[in-house]
Structure 1
Amino acid sequence: MHDTRLNRAVVRVAMVVEDGLRLVLLGLLRLRGKHHPTIVPFIGQGSPQRVRVHARVLFGRREADAPATGVPGAAAPTARSRRAILRASLARFLTVEVGGARVRVSVAGQVIGARADREGYLDVAVDLDEPLVPGWQDVELALPDGTAVVAKVVVVDPEARIGLVSDVDDTILETGIGRGMAFIRAALLTEVHNRSPLPGAAALYNAFCERPGEPVRPVFYVSTSPWNLHEMLLEFIALRKFPLGPLQLTDWGPSRAGLLRISATAHKTSLVRRMLAEHPLLRLVLIGDSGQLDPEIYAALAHENPDRIAAVYIRRTAHDAPSRTAQVDELAAEVTAAGVPMLAANDSVEIAAHAVALGLLDAAALPEVREGVRAAARERMVLLKG
């Protein structure tokens, strides 16, 4: 009890210090007169009757630094020095947030007022008077001074019956998040177009989301990576041709959730529960990796919602210890015996073959996933030779 009170006190002090520093920085930037509040949009999601809109209000962010819709294009890469790469990477984190900013949200002619939280984040649900058409829709976000951006929201087709929830780090994108320096090197010193996707993952995800004869299946990306990496991750998704979907990331820094960030268990569990509640007709396929706690988190969700979780797939990482491999295999067997198929797989082909056997994918998807794995192997050989 004493430790809990002490931890809470430390977090409160850290929050006060952070808020004080932010006020000082805001004052300095206003004195310079060259900066102004702007909105960085994130991808939202929802149903025809209700959409959830996400964004962040920052001070001093140049418009050129962020796409107007939050959905980047796959521009041709240009060569940069390691110093330039590091400078651009650090700039993503050197932001000044506008806490409590008022934002006008306009959806299909319906307008509501909202307010950002102390970190500048906007997370608002809009109940619609008239239902939206399924697919991608525009939402206008505007500040009192007239600064406005257009955010994208994916409206899930009510006829869809399967949705995909995927981790990001070491599930679609090789990051080495559990290996200290390897993760820092990848995050700060590697260009987006040089980041490696998991072989065959894009083909696998596209097969899940675009099954012939069915409505488009939604994909939701969940990660404990900071929101500062939202644009970089979206650019990676676009460049590597993964299906586009909302990314649910975390705020790093002192907050009511803790000193650094919310835990992976709390973050991912609450988001999957939200997806299940907001889309009651969807059954979810959960994909993660064995490097962190995805197996345990997804297994608990499968036990909690056996009728709503269609399958659980865990990618083995190359650095798993034998004890971790045995632990994940035992967990997969337990969850499968309880009625929810769970597989620990070495590659995308294993996942695809298992999903075909369950009727979640068409057999025609298997050759495409195999080719995706072979193409990734060829690309790595070229890089090694170069």
Structure 2
Amino acid sequence: MLALFLTDEVGDVEVSARGVTARTDDEGYFTLPLPREGNHGWVDVGVRIAGDEATATCPVLIPQPTAQFVIVSDIDDTMLQTGAYSLAKNLWTSLTGNISTRRVFEDAIRFVGALSAQGRNPVYYVSSSPWNMYHFLSSIFDRSGLVKGPKFLRDLGISKTQFITGTHGDHKGASIDALLAANPELPHVLLGDTGQHDAFVYRDAIIRHPGRIAAVILREPGPGPDEESLAAMKEIEKTGVLLLHAPNFEGFAPQVVAHIDALG
């Protein structure tokens, strides 16, 4: 686990794909906004480093023309058993677990599978876990059979302006904003849990994007929602957005699909 964080960052180099260029930041990250060019489903995008023979392939997911909605899901304690609502439990689980011991909730596998409808509706995962965990999480998801989807993870590196780049809420909110902007014609379903303030993040997203979010589904891990989370959940309900919450996701899929069908 510690080896995942022993990385050599390559900053301020030019990368390009399909005629679009960008420069890596201090931590070696880059963003390339590309036109869809009529593509759908999973597409491999070749990325080249300027002045170097090195190339990389970045897989991206573009919704199918038949998609009814987009699923955006948190990871820790929503899909993956972590105990993130407790700092001590979170650190112990994260630092001592490995690919074979970490577990994805069985009800989450069934729930996301039903919502995805065999790939018709795309799934994207948004988490405050660092990018260093990308391959680790991908291996766990693949092993469990959870629906495959791109991951929006977080840069925890030290930049010139701040010690940890961005907050939990800022990162999730910005990722949701990006997905909504990329898919303006589709309603979105947000999955999360009550242990890491997802209710607040999702409430704020609903306020920023009225009419764009069809449903919010929250798992209630550990002791369940505190009073502040309950207040945020009540605010979500007042907007008319479907809110479902329980210790697990059993039986939620038909309700979500029926609700979106009713919205037309």
Q: Same fold judged by TM-score > 0.5?
A: yes
The alignment of Structure 1 onto Structure 2 pairs a total of residues equal to 261
Deviation at 1:305, TM superposition (A): 2.5
Counterpart check, 1:344 vs 2:250? no
2:15 is aligned, of 103, 106, 117, to 103
Output one character per residue of 1:290-346: Cα deviation in whole Å (capped at 9) or x when no partner. Answer: 00110111112223333111100111012337xx1x543443333223211112222
Deviation at 1:186, TM superposition (A): 1.9
Secondary structure of 2:252's aligned partner? helix
- Which residue number in structure 2 is paired with residue 141 of structure 1? 47
Counterpart check, 1:188 vs 2:134? no
For residues 1-386 of structure 1, what are the structure 2 equivalents within 5 Å?
89-105=1-17, 110-127=18-35, 131-143=37-49, 144-210=51-117, 216-255=120-159, 258-320=162-224, 324=226, 326-352=227-253, 354-358=255-259
Q: Distance in 1 between matches of 2:6 and 2:127?
A: 21
Output one character per residue of 1:175-230: Cα deviation in whole Å (capped at 9) or x when no partner. Answer: 1223233222222221112111123101110111116xxx7111111111111001
Q: Distance in 2 between matches of 1:210 and 1:256?
A: 44
Question: Given that residues 139 and 151 in structure 1 are in contact (C-alpha distance below 8 angstroms), is that contact kept between their aligned partners in structure 2?
Answer: yes
- TM-score under structure 1 normalisation? 0.63
Secondary structure of 1:150's aligned partner? strand
Secondary structure of 2:31's aligned partner? strand
Q: What is the letter of the counterpart of residue 92 of structure 2?
A: R
Q: Distance in 2 between matches of 1:255 and 1:238?
A: 32
Q: What is the letter of the counterpart of residue 340 of structure 1?
A: V
Q: What is the letter of the counterpart of residue 208 of structure 1?
A: L
Closer, same or farther in 2 for the Cα pair 1:243/1:274, shift >3 Å? same
Gaps of 5+ in 1: 1-88, 362-386
Closer, same or farther in 2 for the Cα pair 1:335/1:349, shift >3 Å? same
Deviation at 1:231, TM superposition (A): 0.7
- Which residue number in structure 2 is paired with residue 367 of structure 1? none
Secondary structure of 2:89's aligned partner? helix
Output one character per residue of 1:141-185: Cα deviation in whole Å (capped at 9) or x when no partner. Answer: 223331222221112224423000100111100112232332222
RMSD: 2.2
Q: Distance in 2 between matches of 1:210 and 1:353?
A: 12
Q: Distance in 1 between matches of 2:61 and 2:22?
A: 20
Question: Given that residues 332 and 344 in structure 1 are in contact (C-alpha distance below 8 angstroms), is that contact kept between their aligned partners in structure 2?
Answer: no
Bigger CA radius of gyration: 1
Which consecutive segments of 4 or more residues in structure 1 shift more than 4 A?
none
- TM-score under structure 2 normalisation? 0.90
Gaps of 5+ in 2: none
